[in-house]
Amino acid sequence: MEKANEWAVAKYTGWGITARNEQWGQWRGWERGISHIDMVYPRTKSLESTQLAWSPGMGDKTVTAELVILPDLEDSLAFQKWLPAVKGKFVMVSMLQPTGRPDYNWQEFATPASFEKMKKDRTAQQEAWTNRIKKTGYTNKTLPVALEKAGAAGVVGSNWSAGFGVDKIFGAYTKKIPTIDIALEDYGLLYRLTESGDKPKISVHTESKERGVVPTFNTIAEIKGSEKPDEYVILSAHFDSWDGGTGATDNGTGTLTMMEAMRILHLVYPHPKRTILVGHWGSEEEGLNGSRAFVEDHPEIVSKVQAVFNQDNGTGRVVNLSGQGFLNSYDYLGRWLAKVPSNIRDSIQTHFPGTPGGGGSDFASFIAVGAPAFSLSSLNWSYGTYTWHTNRDTYDKIVFDDLRNNAILVATLAYMASEDPATSSREKACCPSISGQASPPNGPNKQNPSVKADLTNYHPKTKGPERGLYYSTIS
Ligand SMILES: [Zn+2]
């Protein structure tokens, strides 16, 4: 994040655009190191595997040990009795998937009967596995910690993302032992060998660095308004990402779209009426923290927002735009869209006044305080399965023609919003309730920027640069 923030400021500065890094809080600094994970018995095979974010480093240690599968026991008492059996072993905490083929592949090639049978069996298996974990008396979050306390060598999961060779890579809950993800194909191999008594062994070496509590930033760049400098058009895309891949489509592509729009605007529209500001938010993935903090720290900006345009669902062309429950959004968004080149505009479905987004990305931080904020929603390009928070969210998935389309769209909307003689109405649409009385639609509640990811060692602070999550004593 540090390097990205510095890079973005340097890039904008090089283009002649004023930019700064604004500290919004602090967070647990962690640096990913190498993950080397191999099966060493009964035969040798390098495994497709990586440590989860915030997994504790092992220094120069390599641990070679057998595996044990989380057993299906009667209740938490039985589990406590069994727990010492994990000592010195890697514990497998994910179920064995019945297939590594995505459903679309089954749909195409399986007989309808066998597809149905697979789905039915899988659902039953998933329910049984959920129940297996529940009966331990722990949750997915607390179980790894219990295993660690009982002396396990490490926690091994497989968070399949329902596509060929693709896993979601999130954060670890262990404090001392590594938590790793092994891809379905290799996890399945180990699972079957363990189940059939072949006692496979894996060798695990992961490195990472704890950096303690570090300041965390939003990168902000601005083209100052010439007539109404204290009114704002805000371009918005989060800058952080999960790190199983490189975050290319979540949210490298949103970032590139907004940066390119700023570059274009600075070249062809250097003296906008209103100030055009871009926010590259930190810590979106941990609960929209950077944007929420910005909203809290800058009431003077947020109260004078003409429009916020946020993009955060992959590399595709923007195809959906909702009025987010703003009653008059049709008027102004309609006016602005009318000037977008038709080959870009014609594929966008609009919904007016729409309903306010309750979260999901940074526009919700603005809607929560009544600012007209909109999500530029993209064509999916298998985003949910293949790139969102996965080990496959990498550069090769970017579709640059679509980004070009989006940069033109954003630059045009920003230009139109800046030029509009009228100030955007913030009036919200009201929905008749059952009793016939009007009530506002449900919107996101304003929340303090703090905790979505439950990093159990951290406590929220709510104000100033101290805000964020910081260390307490590890218990
Ligand atoms: Zn995102």
Rounded to whole angstroms, how far apart are CA atoms 28 and 248? 23
Tokens linked to 349: 């479905």
List, in sequence order, every beta strand (DSSP E) within 52-134: 63-69, 90-92
Nearest to 282 by CA among 292, 272, 270, 267: 292
Is the CB of residue 208 less than 8 Å from the CB of residue 57? yes
C-alpha 435 to ligand 1 mean position (Å) = 39
Q: Which CATH architecture has domain 224-432?
A: 3-Layer(aba) Sandwich (3.40)
List, in sequence order, every beta strand (DSSP E) within 369-422: 373-378
C-alpha 233 to ligand 1 mean position (Å) = 21
pTM, full prediction: 0.91
C-alpha 388 to ligand 1 mean position (Å) = 8
Secondary structure class of 175 (helix, strand, coil)? coil
Rounded to whole angstroms, how far apart are CA atoms 191 and 324? 47
Residue 463: the pLDDT is: 59
C-alpha 253 to ligand 1 mean position (Å) = 10
Is the CB of residue 355 less than 8 Å from the CB of residue 328? no
Q: Cβ of 282: how many Cβ atoms within 10 Å?
A: 31
Rounded to whole angstroms, how far apart are CA atoms 67 and 129? 18
C-alpha 362 to ligand 1 mean position (Å) = 9
Residue 358: the pLDDT is: 79
Secondary structure class of 311 (helix, strand, coil)? coil
Residue 434: the pLDDT is: 45
C-alpha 61 to ligand 1 mean position (Å) = 35
Rounded to whole angstroms, how far apart are CA atoms 356 and 375? 10
C-alpha 282 to ligand 1 mean position (Å) = 11
C-alpha 240 to ligand 1 mean position (Å) = 8
Is the CB of residue 352 less than 8 Å from the CB of residue 329? yes
C-alpha 118 to ligand 1 mean position (Å) = 32
C-alpha 244 to ligand 1 mean position (Å) = 14
Residue 437: the pLDDT is: 40
Q: Which residues contact 400 (CB under 8 A, 6 or more apart)?
A: none
Is the CB of residue 431 less than 8 Å from the CB of residue 439? yes
pLDDT per 10-residue tile (average), the chain, 475 residues: 97 98 95 97 98 96 98 98 98 98 98 98 98 98 98 98 98 97 98 98 98 96 98 98 97 98 98 98 95 96 98 97 96 97 96 89 96 97 97 98 98 98 93 43 49 39 60 31
Nearest to 221 by CA among 187, 260, 169: 260
Rounded to whole angstroms, how far apart are CA atoms 392 and 315? 13
Residue 444: the pLDDT is: 52
pLDDT digits (tens, 9 = 90+) for 95-148: 999 999 999 999 999 999 999 999 999 999 999 999 999 999 999 999 999 999
Residue 274: the pLDDT is: 98
Beta bridge partners of 204: 37, 63
C-alpha 100 to ligand 1 mean position (Å) = 26
C-alpha 79 to ligand 1 mean position (Å) = 38
Nearest to 247 by CA among 99, 366, 395, 122: 395
Beta bridge partners of 375: 310
Q: Cβ of 84: how many Cβ atoms within 10 Å?
A: 9
Q: Which CATH class is domain 31-212?
A: alpha beta
Report domain extents, the chain: 31-212, 224-432
